[in-house]
Amino acid sequence: MRLTIRLDEEVYTAARAIAAEKGTSVGEAVNDLARAGLPRRDSAVDYIPMSQPMGMKVECIKVSEILDLEDRERLGRRVQ
């Protein structure tokens, strides 16, 4: 992409020196300098899941146990 920008004298001098050293253009050197200043993408922060108390715990029981409890309730009511 072509773009016109204003550079401070020291930035232009540094870019020109880098371009001469590497045998590239000043634009290429400015791109390298800009990339060097960008944050790294591979520096992602580890994800830490947040946990919170969920209140009462649910007791897991089998369907057959629930049916047995219902039967006992019904039979208990009839006996009394």
Both tokens of residue 17?
A: 């020196």
Question: Domain containing 25: what range?
Answer: 1-39
pLDDT at 57: 76
Q: What angle do CA 10, 16, 19 make, to 5 degrees?
A: 140
pLDDT at 43: 64
pLDDT at 32: 92
pLDDT at 79: 53
Q: Examine residue 78 and state whether it is found in any structural domain, yes or no.
A: no
Q: Examine residue 2 and state whether it is found in any structural domain, yes or no.
A: yes
The pLDDT tens digits of the residues spanning 6-55 come to 999 999 999 999 999 999 999 999 999 999 988 777 666 788 888 888 88
The pLDDT tens digits of the residues spanning 49-74 come to 888 888 877 777 888 888 898 999 98
Phi, psi of 44 (to 5 degrees): -70, 145
Chain centroid to Cα 9, Å, comes to 39
What is the count of structural domains for the chain?
A: 1
